[in-house]
Amino acid sequence: MATIGCKDFPDYLEPWMEGDRHPDALAHVRDCPRCRSLVEDLKLIQATAQEWGRTESEPPAHLWNSLRAQLVQEGLIHQQSIRRGWLTGWLPSLPRPALAGAYLAAVIAVAFGLSGPVNQRINRARWLEGTQNSTTPLRAQFASAEMNATPPSLPDSNPTVTASLHNNLAIVDNYIVLCEKSVNEEPENELARDYLFEAYQQKADLLAQLSERGGDGR
Amino acid sequence: MSTTHFVSGTWNWNGKAAGVLATGLLLFGATTSAHRIEKHFTVEPRAVITIHNPNGKIVVKAWTKHEVMVIANHASDKVEVAAEQTGNRVDLRTQQLADTVAPDDLRADYEVSVPEDAELQIHDDSGEVSVANVLGDMNVETVAAGVDLEDAAGYLTVKTVGGSFQCIRCAGRLEVSSISGSFRLLDLRSYHVRAQTSTGNILFDGEFLPNGIYRLKNYSGVIEVRFSAGDSFDLSATSLKGPVNNEAKLTPPAHPQRLSSKFGYALGTFNAGRAKVELTSFDGTINVRKRN
């Protein structure tokens, strides 16, 4: 019989993902399909992250649905922020070659968002550490995607479009910096986390568009 | 389905062509092009029209015929306009014929007349998109092109990167998103509006229908909503780091709510609270103004 409940389980998640599985958490995961599913999803994210850059295969559709449901349940995002046309509307419209990368960016952002309540419940320092741990690889992935998306030697057949994409990328980058600052100042603020989450999605979408156009806005 | 008639050609610069071109110029305003095609397609109700154009002006208007008429103009030999019908769908596409094409050569302008119940799917990277009197569902995606809708209805989804968006007398359901584009939503009669931009401004001057949901969100910039004394809505306006200026006399919520902002917020019910209005900004200004 498990001695911990769903509310406590997130406290065990971080060590769990590092291989340190507490007996209470193990017992709970055995009994609770919801938390078992969460663990499986996070493992899949981890595996996908390791694969990124080596493959362009499309990740399973159920992964996002499951994470989204979890986020809504956790109250990290509102139903309105995942309606057709914003988040769910974006991902299917991403070009195939860039889909894996953009998807990964989104799911890492999701994982970052997911770590919020875990760390909040522990303390501010751990939350901030969690933020850093989550965003550092994300930034590295974005930097790499950005380099691939903007090869300098290609001719520019539509400078208006290229300029617009780059200007908006700069806007979103600035927006990410300010949102991160705000999240660091008030880790418990749901609205600030929502804005940061959306900024990462926007960046992933812009990089996907640049990548599809070979970096020159075609 | 069949093409009822087709006119296409490359104008030669002789006297006759110049005369016809002058007439064409009168018909097409300032549009000057060396290639013009005109195609007509007979369609059934609820036809789907797709337009994919990298650069140029797209004007779509509804008419009473069960027919789609396409007039396209482009100046360069390095692109062509393909117009095809498959079942009840008409696909229009500007195609690049050379590996490298100069920016101006990519441009093609379209004038399309469609039945008013037509469904539209438009992609235009740069230039502008204008749609009037079309009542079917519509999806418009652009990068830098601005989008203007007038008297549209149905399920309208618009996504731009930097292009602005204006919707006048639109009804139905509207979802619009952008990064730096500004939105003007005027004389709306939509029961569901979701508008989200990062740095753009949002102006909403329309009706709040009973049971309607109106969610406007930006990062910076100004969100302005105008209301009349007879409107009825629940308001939740929050700017994380900016001011909220509210002229609506609100009844405070019955249950205290957790606030996300130490700065600007306005929460409460105006009249019976029939519609739901949610306004959110990060560090922008939110104005809720009484209509004159």
pLDDT digits (tens, 9 = 90+) for A122-144: 456 665 666 666 666 677 677 77
Give me the residue from B54, B126, B161 closest to A168, CB to CB.
Answer: B161
Q: Does A182 touch chain B (CB under 8 A)?
A: yes
pLDDT digits (tens, 9 = 90+) for B93-106: 999 998 888 888 89
The candidate with the shortest Cα–Cα distance to B161, out of B185, B184, B177, is B177
The candidate with the shortest Cα–Cα distance to A194, out of A86, A111, A81, A87, is A81
CA nearest B142 in A: which residue?
Answer: A161
Q: Does A15 touch chain B (CB under 8 A)?
A: no
Burial of B178 (0-12, 13-18, 19+ CB in 10 A): buried
In chain A, what's the furthest Cα-to-Cα distance? Answer: 65
Say what the pTM is: 0.70
Q: What is the pLDDT of residue A183?
A: 85
Residue stretches of chain A with pLDDT short of 70 = 1-2, 48-137, 140, 145-156, 214-218
Q: Average of pLDDT values for B261-285?
A: 91
Which of A195, A209, A211, A218 to mutate against chain B (most B CBs within 10 Å)? Answer: A195
Which of B143, B190, B214, B260 to mutate against chain A (most A CBs within 10 Å)? Answer: B143
Spell A129-149 as b/e; 16+ CB within 10 A means b.
Answer: ebbeebbeebeebbeebbeeb
Q: Average of pLDDT values for B182-188?
A: 97
Give me the residue from A159, A164, A182 closest to B161, CB to CB.
Answer: A164
The three-class DSSP label of residue A77 is coil
- Count CB neighbours of B291 within 10 A: 11
Which of B97, B124, B126, B276 to mutate against chain A (most A CBs within 10 Å)? Answer: B126
Residue B231 in this model has a pLDDT that exceeds 70: yes
pLDDT digits (tens, 9 = 90+) for B47-76: 999 999 999 999 999 999 999 999 999 999
Q: What is the pLDDT of residue B232?
A: 97
Q: What is the pLDDT of residue A72?
A: 62
Q: What are phi and psi of B50, to 5 degrees?
A: -115, 140
Q: Does A153 touch chain B (CB under 8 A)?
A: no
The three-class DSSP label of residue B138 is strand
Cα separation values, A29 from A10, A24, A25, A33, A40, Å: 11, 9, 6, 7, 10
In chain B, what's the furthest Cα-to-Cα distance? Answer: 79
Query: Scanning the structure block, which residue is given the tokens 């991160």?
Result: A180
Which residues are within 8 A (CB) of A147 and not within 5 positions of it... i.e. 6 or more apart?
A: none
- The residue count of chain B comes to 292
Spell A189-208 as b/e; 16+ CB within 10 A means b.
Answer: bbbbbbbbbbbbbbbbbbbb
Query: Scanning the structure block, which residue is given the tokens 């730096």?
Result: B180
A86·B196 Cβ contact <8 A: yes
B135 or A130, which is more confident: B135
Tokens of B65: 């015929």
Averaged pLDDT score across all residues of chain B: 89
Report which secondary-structure segment, H or E, holds B24.
Answer: helix B15-28
Distance CA A187, CA A37 (A): 26
Q: What is the pLDDT of residue A94?
A: 39
Q: What is the pLDDT of residue B253?
A: 84
Q: What is the pLDDT of residue A52?
A: 54
Cα separation values, B239 from B205, B219, B265, B284, Å: 20, 9, 6, 7
Distance CA B277, CA A38 (A): 34
Please determine, for the modelled complex, whether the ipTM score is greater than 0.85.
no
Spell B125-154 as b/e; 16+ CB within 10 A means b.
Answer: bbbbbbbebbbbbbbbbbbbbbbbbbbbbb
Q: What is the pLDDT of residue B41?
A: 98
Q: What is the pLDDT of residue A1?
A: 56
Which residues of chain A does B177 touch, with a Cβ-Cβ cutoff of 8 Å?
85-86, 89
Least confident of A126-130, B14-18, B35-39, B202-206: B14-18
The candidate with the shortest Cα–Cα distance to A209, out of A127, A101, A84, is A101
